[in-house]
Amino acid sequence: MSFATDVKNEICELKQSKTENIAELSAFIRNNGHFTKKEILLYTENMMIAKRIYSIVKNVYDVHCQMTTKQNVAFNKNNVYYIEIKDKVNLILNDLSIFDSDKKFIETPHNYIIDSEEEMKAYIRGTFLAKGSINDPQTSQYHLEFLFDKKHESVFLQRLLNHFDLNSKIILRDTKYMVYLKEADKIADFLKMIKAYKAVLYYESVRVVREQKNITNRLNNCEQANTEKTINTCNAQLKNIETIKEKVGLDILDDKLRLVAEYRQKYPESSLVELSEIISLETDTKITKSGLNHRFRKLKELADKLQND
């Protein structure tokens, strides 16, 4: 079972007011309904969604619905659940602000459908049940989306989502309009907003583990990069010392330069910090990392000069 299915199943267990039920039903039928003069036909592959919508229609409008099950042989062979509403069709579509009294389609629902923030959230829940999808946070990216055939539906949903500061965006994908969220924090806020609290706990726990792993990986990469840098620096210093040794010998160096040359050869893999501590401890003469670096620059200048002569 996918994470998106888990979220939808959790939503289906919510209890809500009659006006919230109407807002959720308005969104679901608007985005997942087929209408004729005599019936409303709804379908879903999720049995819990089918039962919820069936229950809301029956309780709010006191009508008999027929629910049937068929196997989807064309694709993944999951069952498809159909809900047929043949009673009070015009009343329902008008009440849900999908068709007006003249039986003309209403592009966006009237304000009474989403008159309060709780009704807005219910409308968003209904839209998610019909059109929404969310990635499992264990996958490579955080992603929540709604896919619409009509631009006005995507714009309307974006307005609702951004009323709650979710920073949703719209892009055209093929011939459809996708409303999406990419920010992990905003997706977590969305789950809280639609009251999928179990999903929030799972989402946040996985996110914490992922982010901790990312921090560890970044630290490991940084440490590896520093190690490689240290090795390259040490090798360059040893090469300079070897050049001086072959060309003129180390005895021509003054005491300070000869000291660091000898200690570099003795400790070829030590960083400047480590080497400065070793020299300070063994010679009882304090030398800093910057002082050590200055002497190695002197050795490099001499090696470069000898190479060019």
Q: What is the pLDDT of residues 33-49, one digit of tens each?
A: 888 778 999 989 999 99
- Answering whether pTM is above 0.85, one says no
For residue range 225-284, what is the model confidence (pLDDT) as tens digits? 777 888 888 888 889 888 888 888 888 888 888 888 888 888 888 888 888 888 888 888
The yes-or-no verdict on residue 76 having pLDDT over 90 is no
Q: What confidence score (pLDDT) does residue 157 get?
A: 96
What is the predicted pLDDT for the residue at 71?
A: 77
Question: Which tens digit of pLDDT belongs to each residue from 1-35?
Answer: 799 999 999 999 999 999 999 999 999 999 998 88
Residue 275 pLDDT: 85
pLDDT band at 221 (very low <50, low <70, confident <90, very high): confident
Region for residue 249 given its phi and psi (left: phi exceeds 0; alpha: psi -120 to 50; beta: otherwise): left
Q: Tell me if 110 sits within 8 A of 94, measured CB to CB.
A: no
Residues 6+ away with beta carbon under 8 Å from 180: 143, 144, 145, 146, 168, 169, 170, 171
Helical H segments across the chain, by residue range: 3-11, 18-32, 47-61, 89-95, 117-131, 151-163, 184-193, 197-247, 255-266, 272-283, 289-308
Helix axes 197-247, 184-193, angle to 10 degrees: 170
pLDDT of residue 22: 96
Q: Residue 200 has what pLDDT?
A: 92
**Per-residue confidence band for 206, with pLDDT thresholds at 50, 70 and 90:** confident
> How confident is residue 58, by pLDDT bands cut at 50, 70 and 90?
very high
**HSE-up (13 A, CA, CB side) for residue 168:** 25
In the structure, what pLDDT confidence band is assigned to residue 75 with cuts at 50, 70 and 90?
Answer: low
Does the pLDDT at position 77 exceed 70?
Answer: no
Record the tokens describing residue 15, joined without a space: 């209890």
Can you give the pLDDT at residue 135?
Answer: 92
Q: How high does pLDDT run on average in the chain?
A: 89
